[in-house]
Structure 1
């Protein structure tokens, strides 16, 4: 089975399990590193993720994966928090972060800038709307956005 199919199958069967436990499945990857395979679940919840959360999800998901057995190769199962600088990839990610400051990188310059930082106000399938520090609202076409992540301010 291809990696893409493995991810699709694992997501289809394990995302409901993760959500039943009270977490969001933020991202999922199946990669080969230094000769070993890793199946990584990145989970989130509003209050943040603890080691106990990761262990709980790992045990339940591990049992589900043993039942499904979708991966022929031996692999390591990892469950962790996605971290602060992870990309916001889905509408669910965006919805969870409305009102927070985000950083948007673009494929091409708009108004002489390839990076915008501001409060996430709204979004739809075509646009992301932010309020920059100068209190100006900016609507950016999603087609020109290369990456969105939470802005880390000190």
Structure 2
């Protein structure tokens, strides 16, 4: 699919640039909304990103995208934080956010269930360890995780 190729090409261009600025590339999204194409770059760092971080990535990435030309038509480039309920994708994310509340969905049912919410305990032997809201520990194979996001807790 063309979208996947664009995302892969942009990730390859953006990763060294973003890490060179002391940031993490959380993800790349290439979508059509309201008749317009958007290329969204999500960045993060401990303590959160600033507008200056987003501007620096945008200004540095724009000429690289123009030169590599991975997108054959016009689009809007957006650089932002992944938000308070950021996705967890890489094994390192599951370690970094240990102790945080998460919502996780699996590809196939695990003991008859696909959606789980609880406190992330980390990743052990390729198993995501959760303490569910009912206090039970659940171990889910990392390879079975379809989506995982931080879950905001409001006091």
TM score, norm. by length of structure 1: 0.84
Residue of structure 2 in register with 1:108 after alignment:
109
Q: Aligned in 2, Cα 1:47/1:6: closer, same or farther, shift over 3 Å?
A: same
Task: List runs of 5+ in structure 1 lacking aligned partners.
Answer: none
Q: Which moved more, 1:83-92 or 1:32-41?
A: 83-92
Within 1, Cα distance between the matches of 2:5 and 2:136? 43
**Post-superposition offset of 1:97:** 1.1
Q: Which moved more, 1:100-109 or 1:66-75?
A: 100-109
**Post-superposition offset of 1:126:** 4.2
Within 1, Cα distance between the matches of 2:135 and 2:153? 17
Contact 2:97 2:122 in 1 (8 A): no
TM score, norm. by length of structure 2: 0.83
**Post-superposition offset of 1:113:** 5.1
Matched, 1:71 2:108: no
Within 2, Cα distance between the matches of 1:145 and 1:15? 23
Contact 1:26 1:93 in 2 (8 A): no
Q: Which moved more, 1:21-30 or 1:112-121?
A: 112-121
Contact 1:103 1:117 in 2 (8 A): yes
2:86 is paired with a residue whose SS is: coil
Matched, 1:152 2:152: yes
Q: Which moved more, 1:23-32 or 1:85-94?
A: 85-94
Q: Map of 1:47-62 to 2, 5 A cutoff?
A: 47-62=47-62
1:63 is paired with a residue whose SS is: helix
Count of aligned pairs:
153
Task: List runs of 5+ in structure 2 lacking aligned partners.
Answer: none
**Post-superposition offset of 1:153:** 1.4
